Amino acid sequence: MPTYLDVHELGNITEEQLKQIQNSPKDEFGVAHKNMLYNVEENKHYCILDAPNKDAVVKHHQKFGLKCDWITEVKTTA
Protein backbone atom coordinates (compact mmCIF):
# COMPACT_ATOMS: atom_id res chain seq x y z
CA MET A 1 0.00 0.00 0.00
CA PRO A 2 1.34 3.49 -0.79
CA THR A 3 2.55 5.80 1.98
CA TYR A 4 1.63 9.49 2.04
CA LEU A 5 2.93 12.52 3.91
CA ASP A 6 0.64 15.50 4.46
CA VAL A 7 0.57 18.71 6.44
CA HIS A 8 -2.28 20.75 7.87
CA GLU A 9 -3.04 22.98 10.85
CA LEU A 10 -2.83 21.33 14.26
CA GLY A 11 -5.73 23.32 15.66
CA ASN A 12 -6.92 22.54 19.20
CA ILE A 13 -6.23 18.80 19.15
CA THR A 14 -4.49 17.47 22.25
CA GLU A 15 -1.57 15.07 22.45
CA GLU A 16 -3.91 12.48 23.97
CA GLN A 17 -6.30 12.81 21.01
CA LEU A 18 -3.35 12.40 18.63
CA LYS A 19 -2.36 9.19 20.41
CA GLN A 20 -5.92 7.86 20.08
CA ILE A 21 -5.95 8.64 16.36
CA GLN A 22 -2.49 7.07 15.95
CA ASN A 23 -3.71 3.81 17.49
CA SER A 24 -7.04 3.65 15.67
CA PRO A 25 -7.64 0.94 13.04
CA LYS A 26 -7.80 1.54 9.31
CA ASP A 27 -10.79 3.77 8.51
CA GLU A 28 -13.57 3.38 5.94
CA PHE A 29 -11.31 4.93 3.26
CA GLY A 30 -8.54 2.39 3.90
CA VAL A 31 -6.32 4.95 5.67
CA ALA A 32 -4.11 4.01 8.61
CA HIS A 33 -1.68 6.25 10.51
CA LYS A 34 1.97 5.17 10.53
CA ASN A 35 3.18 8.19 12.47
CA MET A 36 2.33 11.80 13.26
CA LEU A 37 4.58 14.75 13.96
CA TYR A 38 3.47 18.15 15.21
CA ASN A 39 4.67 21.56 16.27
CA VAL A 40 2.37 23.48 18.62
CA GLU A 41 4.21 26.81 18.20
CA GLU A 42 3.85 26.68 14.40
CA ASN A 43 0.36 25.09 14.52
CA LYS A 44 1.48 22.36 12.10
CA HIS A 45 0.60 18.68 12.02
CA TYR A 46 2.30 16.19 9.72
CA CYS A 47 0.75 12.79 9.04
CA ILE A 48 2.49 9.74 7.65
CA LEU A 49 -0.28 7.49 6.37
CA ASP A 50 -0.79 4.23 4.56
CA ALA A 51 -3.60 4.80 2.09
CA PRO A 52 -4.81 3.29 -1.19
CA ASN A 53 -4.57 6.68 -2.96
CA LYS A 54 -4.38 10.45 -2.51
CA ASP A 55 -8.17 10.83 -2.67
CA ALA A 56 -8.53 8.54 0.37
CA VAL A 57 -6.14 10.82 2.30
CA VAL A 58 -8.26 13.86 1.39
CA LYS A 59 -11.49 12.14 2.47
CA HIS A 60 -9.87 10.91 5.70
CA HIS A 61 -9.01 14.49 6.69
CA GLN A 62 -12.33 15.92 5.53
CA LYS A 63 -14.20 13.71 7.99
CA PHE A 64 -12.32 15.56 10.77
CA GLY A 65 -12.98 18.97 9.18
CA LEU A 66 -9.35 19.32 8.07
CA LYS A 67 -7.94 20.53 4.76
CA CYS A 68 -4.37 19.54 3.92
CA ASP A 69 -1.93 22.21 2.74
CA TRP A 70 -0.26 19.49 0.67
CA ILE A 71 -0.16 15.72 0.24
CA THR A 72 2.62 13.73 -1.41
CA GLU A 73 3.32 10.04 -1.89
CA VAL A 74 6.61 9.02 -0.25
CA LYS A 75 8.88 5.99 0.01
CA THR A 76 10.50 4.84 3.27
CA THR A 77 13.77 3.05 3.98
CA ALA A 78 12.23 0.92 6.74
Quick: pLDDT tens for 7-59.
999 988 888 988 898 899 999 999 999 999 999 999 999 999 999 999 999 99
User: pLDDT tier at 64 (50, 70, 90 boundaries)?
Assistant: confident
70 has pLDDT over 80: yes
* CATH tag, 3-74: 3.30.70.3090
Question: CB of 32 within 8 A of CB of 25?
Answer: yes
pTM of the model: 0.90
Question: CB of 4 within 8 A of CB of 48?
Answer: yes
78 has pLDDT over 90: no
